[in-house]
């Protein structure tokens, strides 16, 4: 797993008024365009942790996920922003944020027109079940079509349990069911879950899991608590994913039942 690049935001272009986090299209010092996810948005840095860990694990699995980069944001960019909500968001998110490669001209996935084959659908459902992603539904597909190819976006709702108090102490979590899976947009097409299970789990070695988690900046793990110990949370994320990947993987038959 390669190290993430770091870009510096040079221009705020336009907000993407979808969902509650108010991401934005921005321009960076490499002349690229990105979708910026703000550390100061409603779900705070934990949404960035989920976006980073789930996105990089998905890319390790060979799933079509746009490049993820760290994004340095100067809070002074808020100075020329007339919208008070956006002004506050930029100002409060100064420092290290996360950005996703912008796919210009992409369109929202239509399950009636763009339905993937059973193998790809099964790989996506397996991945979302592993990552406890509650946000790949008919209401929020979080899939784009770009150059006639399917792309998975917006993984900030993965690992949703880490918004709970003292989640890092819950040792039963990795084997708990994931009831939201029945709402997954592609679950009815995921007819090859058993066939993809071995290859997907084999690709996620402990080293690959650790590499994704080790990328999380300390400041995102501390949040607003200056006394928090980042390694405690890193260890909890490692334990969750390693134990969830250990056979028997409860989410595989659960996925089949949801289908």
Nearest to 107 by CA among 78, 145, 72: 145
The answer to whether residues 144 and 136 touch, using CB atoms and an 8 Å cutoff, is no
Query: Under 8 Å CB-to-CB from 62, ≥6 apart: which residues?
Result: 203
Q: Where are the domains positioned within the chain?
A: 6-101, 107-258
Per-residue pLDDT of the chain in tens (259 residues, 90 and over written 9): 668 999 999 999 999 866 567 899 999 999 999 999 999 998 899 999 999 999 999 999 999 999 999 999 999 999 988 999 999 999 999 999 999 999 999 999 998 888 899 999 999 999 999 999 999 999 899 999 999 999 999 999 999 999 998 999 999 999 888 888 899 999 999 999 999 999 999 999 999 999 999 999 999 999 777 778 999 999 999 999 999 999 988 888 777 677 6
Q: What is the pTM of this model?
A: 0.94
d(CA 199, CA 216): 26
| SS3 per residue for 142-167 | CEEEECCEEEECCCCCCCHHHHCCCH
Query: Under 8 Å CB-to-CB from 191, ≥6 apart: which residues?
Result: 118, 121, 122, 259
């Amino acid at each position: 797993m390669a190290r993430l690049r770091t870009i510096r935001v040079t221009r705020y272009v336009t907000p993407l008024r979808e969902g509650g986090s108010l991401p934005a299209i921005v321009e960076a010092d490499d002349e690229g365009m990105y979708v910026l996810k703000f550390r100061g948005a409603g779900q705070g840095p934990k949404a960035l942790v989920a976006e980073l860990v789930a996105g990089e694990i998905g890319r390790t699995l060979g799933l079509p996920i746009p490049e993820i980069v760290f994004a340095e944001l100067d809070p002074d960019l808020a100075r020329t922003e007339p919208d008070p909500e956006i002004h506050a968001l930029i100002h409060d998110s100064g420092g290290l944020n996360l950005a996703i490669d912008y796919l210009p001209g992409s369109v929202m996935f239509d399950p009636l027109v763009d339905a993937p084959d059973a193998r790809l659908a099964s790989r996506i459902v397996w991945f979302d079940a592993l990552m406890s992603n509650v946000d790949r539904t008919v209401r929020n597909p979080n899939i784009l079509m770009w150059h006639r190819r399917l792309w998975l976006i917006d993984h900030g709702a993965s690992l949703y349990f880490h918004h709970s108090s003292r989640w890092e102490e819950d040792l039963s979590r990795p084997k708990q069911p994931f009831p939201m899976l029945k709402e997954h947009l592609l679950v009815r097409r995921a007819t090859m879950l058993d066939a993809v299970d071995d290859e997907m789990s084999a690709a996620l070695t402990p080293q690959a899991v650790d590499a994704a988690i080790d990328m999380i900046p300390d400041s995102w793990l501390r949040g607003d608590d200056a006394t928090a110990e980042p390694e405690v949370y890193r260890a909890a994320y490692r334990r969750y994913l390693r134990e969830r990947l250990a056979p028997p993987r409860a989410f595989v038959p659960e996925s089949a039942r949801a289908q």
